[in-house]
């Protein structure tokens, strides 16, 4: 902010694409940063002051800092989110949920981001698209939500100095001297332009900084207190509760539980397979799982349909084929098999994800599967709905399940 020139101070805190299931029914998800949400399908909503805003593929939802909203979810969702902060006037927008229709350009950005982020967090290569999305939201905010005060360059410099030195003791005299003013004149100017006294502003920023560390770091509360300029954890807890209504430990649990979801796993790669080329790898996995483990005869397992199905293979971090599944032309998913040593590491979820995209690209509107009884909860968390009672296939109880895509 040299020379008093205004900079928006946009900082990306986190950007991810996650699969959320029924546990995203949360209350009081308030934090001192902006959120942007975009979902690939309907089923989720956020609620602020009784107003329900639905999430989905046709809208971008932006939530202003310190909005104490709740979240609801029916089924499951593919959820792109961005957490970020900005300087005034954007960082001081009053709590509110904003909804913007997705334009063609923004649609390309969120779809591209969501595909790239399925395997982890935002990388340096994603930053331009994330900044474009943030800038688009800021550009579309109603003007009457932004403060119209002209910010004096001395106030800008004072705010920057406090923000850059939160862990140190900072007196009004020190700041006033830095900006070339006497103490009393500086305090009057700062309050006139910001609505805060300098020390109240400093305390608020320290609490905000503590919030970010509680959410996005694994530092201890003692360490966070020191990094945020508080004497000790007890001083932090007392001030934090006054500002946020809860203590630091409760805040950390709330925001992390609100973000606790089933992440599409890193270390698992899924690719579309070719039956003629990959027959041996696919058959080996299925024989180990279905024939050797479950006692299903090869005559039933290899039903003569494989040559006309779309297959996928899942590979672990070492490049070993550990899972396979297939899609029939009518939308029937099946033959999901993951080697025993690789179960519980996300290969099954990743294959479902990959096959759903293939099915959507083929123009299918619904997919089906027959789930073994033990696997019904797994598919239910991924968004499949059970229909009807049990039936026997290959000597095992199954349930018909489907999902609209």
Q: Do residues 180 and 153 make contact, with C-beta atoms less than 8 angstroms apart?
A: no
For residue 26, the 8-state DSSP code is: B
Domain edge (last residue) among 227, 259, 291? 259
- Angular region, 149: left φ>0, alpha ψ -120 to 50, beta rest: beta
Q: List, for residues 38-70, the tens digit of each pLDDT value.
A: 998 888 899 988 899 999 999 999 999 888 888
- How many distinct structural domains can be found in the chain? 3
C-alpha Rg value of the chain to the nearest Å = 26
Domain that holds residue 8: 2-145
What pairing do the DSSP bridges indicate for beta strands 11-20 and 77-85? antiparallel
Instruction: Tell me how far apart the alpha carbons of residues 128 and 243 are, in angstroms, rounded to a whole number.
Output: 34
Does 264 reside within a domain? no
Domain edge (last residue) among 213, 238, 259? 259
- Judgement on whether residues 118 and 192 belong to the same structural domain of the protein: no
CATH code for the domain in which residue 31 is found: 2.60.120.280
Domain edge (last residue) among 85, 112, 145? 145
CATH code for the domain in which residue 231 is found: 1.10.10.60
- Judgement on whether residues 233 and 323 belong to the same structural domain of the protein: no
Q: List, for residues 186-220, the tens digit of each pLDDT value.
A: 999 998 888 889 999 999 899 989 998 988 787 89
- Judgement on whether residues 130 and 244 belong to the same structural domain of the protein: no
Q: Do residues 265 and 322 make contact, with C-beta atoms less than 8 angstroms apart?
A: no
Does 389 reside within a domain? yes
Q: Do residues 184 and 220 make contact, with C-beta atoms less than 8 angstroms apart?
A: no
Q: List, for residues 290-338, the tens digit of each pLDDT value.
A: 999 989 899 899 999 999 999 999 998 888 999 999 999 999 999 999 9
The string of DSSP codes covering 93-125 is: PPS-EEEEEPPHHHHHHHHHHHHHGGGSS--GG
Does 172 reside within a domain? yes
- Angular region, 383: left φ>0, alpha ψ -120 to 50, beta rest: left
User: Which residue in 268, 306, 297 sits closest to 394, CA to CA?
Assistant: 297
- Judgement on whether residues 47 and 30 belong to the same structural domain of the protein: yes
- Judgement on whether residues 287 and 366 belong to the same structural domain of the protein: yes
Does 214 reside within a domain? yes
Does 367 reside within a domain? yes
């Amino acid at each position: 902010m040299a020379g008093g020139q205004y900079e928006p101070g946009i900082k990306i805190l986190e950007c991810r694409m996650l699969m959320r299931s029924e546990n995203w029914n949360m209350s009081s998800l308030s934090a001192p940063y902006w959120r942007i949400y975009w979902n690939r399908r309907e089923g989720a909503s956020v609620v602020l002051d009784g107003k329900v805003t639905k999430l989905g593929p046709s809208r971008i939802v932006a939530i202003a800092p310190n909005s104490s909203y709740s979240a609801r979810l029916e089924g499951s969702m593919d959820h792109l989110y961005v957490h970020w902060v900005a300087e005034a006037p954007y960082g001081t927008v009053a709590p509110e949920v904003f909804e913007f229709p997705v334009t063609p350009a923004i649609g390309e950005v969120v779809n591209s981001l969501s595909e790239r982020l399925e395997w982890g967090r935002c990388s340096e290569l994603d930053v331009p698209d994330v900044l474009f999305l943030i800038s688009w939201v800021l550009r579309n905010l109603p003007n009457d939500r932004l403060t119209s005060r002209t910010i004096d360059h001395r106030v800008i410099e004072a705010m920057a100095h406090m923000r850059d030195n939160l862990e140190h003791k900072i007196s009004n005299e020190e700041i006033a001297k830095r900006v070339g003013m006497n103490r009393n004149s500086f305090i009057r100017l700062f309050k006139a332009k910001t609505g805060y006294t300098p020390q109240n502003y400093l305390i608020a920023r320290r609490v905000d900084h503590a919030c970010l560390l509680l959410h996005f770091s694994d530092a201890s509360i003692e360490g966070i207190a020191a990094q945020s300029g508080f004497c000790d954890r007890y001083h932090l807890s007392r001030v934090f509760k006054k500002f946020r209504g809860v203590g630091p430990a409760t805040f950390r649990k709330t925001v992390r539980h609100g973000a606790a979801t089933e992440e599409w796993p890193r270390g698992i790669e899924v690719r579309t397979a070719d039956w003629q080329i990959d027959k041996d790898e696919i058959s080996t996995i299925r024989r180990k799982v279905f024939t050797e483990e479950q006692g299903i005869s090869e005559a039933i397992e290899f039903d003569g349909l494989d040559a006309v199905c779309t297959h996928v293979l899942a590979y672990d971090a070492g490049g070993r084929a550990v899972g396979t599944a297939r899609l029939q032309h009518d939308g029937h998913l099946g033959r999901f098999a993951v080697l025993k040593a690789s179960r519980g590491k996300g290969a099954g979820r990743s294959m479902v994800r990959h096959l759903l995209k293939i099915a959507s690209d083929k123009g299918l509107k619904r997919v089906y599967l027959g789930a073994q009884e033990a696997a019904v909860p797994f598919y239910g968390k991924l968004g499949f709905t059970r229909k009807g009672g049990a039936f026997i296939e290959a000597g095992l109880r199954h349930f018909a399940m489907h999902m609209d895509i």
